[in-house]
């Protein structure tokens, strides 16, 4: 079961020892990605996996482009223990079977070139009670990698997929 962090100093000490990123309070998070005062931080999990893209015909113009399909990542607590997974939906699912599905509310460019955007998502339970069932907001921060390929998509390879490595920190919030 994911560890819950009630204070930033505790997490910072654990995260630093584990080589993880600092908590949201120590990260320059754009105002539009703040979840609001009606929630509190419940847990922070590190994700390591891929963003999956498919070469498809453009919808509104001639040619082809890499279209986002889904994430596929494992989730780790501050001790490096695998505690869940992240996949299409987007869903976050704990080892206890609890899960939430999210919807993007806001996005901001990542401060690092070549990284997928930072996000604020609303979330709702999509499974049994457990570590994720009360989550109502999710932030994706500290992203590295994961952007679509810049080329190599044409009619000749339409339907092929690209799996681009990425990491991110997911901050899970529950109602106060």
Read off the pTM.
0.85
Asked if residue 108 belongs to a domain, the reply is: yes
Instruction: Decide: 47 and 169 in contact? Cβ < 8 Å.
Output: yes
Neighbouring-strand partners of residue 92 = 86, 100
Q: Average pLDDT over the chain, rounded to whole?
A: 88
Q: Which stretches of the chain are assigned E, i.e. beta strand?
A: 39-57, 64-76, 82-87, 91-94, 99-108, 118-125, 137-145, 161-175
What one-character DSSP code corresponds to residue 14?
H
Q: Which long-range contacts (CB under 8 A, 24 or more apart) does 57-64 make?
A: 57/155, 57/158, 63/154, 64/153, 64/154, 64/155, 64/158
Asked if residue 143 belongs to a domain, the reply is: yes
pLDDT in tens, 117-147: 999 999 999 999 999 999 999 999 999 999 9
Structural domain count of the chain: 1
Asked if residue 33 belongs to a domain, the reply is: no
23-32, 75-84, 144-153, range with the lowest pLDDT: 23-32
Domain span at 82: 8-24+39-175
Asked if residue 124 belongs to a domain, the reply is: yes
Asked if residue 29 belongs to a domain, the reply is: no
Asked if residue 32 belongs to a domain, the reply is: no
pLDDT in tens, 29-58: 999 999 999 999 999 999 999 999 999 999
Asked if residue 13 belongs to a domain, the reply is: yes
Asked if residue 31 belongs to a domain, the reply is: no
Residue 23: band (very low, low, confident or very high) from pLDDT cuts 50, 70, 90? low
User: Is 60 exceeded by the pLDDT of residue 16?
Assistant: no
Residue 27: band (very low, low, confident or very high) from pLDDT cuts 50, 70, 90? confident
């Amino acid at each position: 079961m994911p560890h819950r962090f009630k204070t930033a100093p505790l997490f910072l000490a654990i995260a630093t020892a584990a080589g993880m990123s600092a908590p949201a309070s120590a990260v320059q998070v754009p105002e539009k990605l703040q979840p609001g005062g009606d929630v509190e931080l419940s847990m922070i999990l590190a994700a390591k996996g891929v963003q999956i893209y498919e070469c498809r015909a453009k919808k509104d113009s001639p040619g082809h482009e890499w279209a986002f399909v889904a994430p596929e990542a494992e989730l780790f607590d501050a001790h490096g223990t695998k505690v869940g997974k992240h996949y299409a939906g987007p869903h976050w699912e704990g080892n206890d079977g609890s899960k939430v599905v999210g919807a993007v509310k806001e996005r901001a460019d990542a401060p690092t070139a070549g990284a997928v955007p930072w996000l604020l998502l609303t979330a709702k339970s999509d499974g049994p009670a457990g570590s994720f069932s009360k989550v109502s907001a999710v932030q994706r921060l500290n992203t590295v990698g994961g952007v679509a390929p810049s080329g190599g998509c044409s009619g000749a390879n339409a339907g092929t997929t690209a799996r681009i490595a990425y990491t991110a920190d997911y901050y899970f919030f529950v109602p106060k």
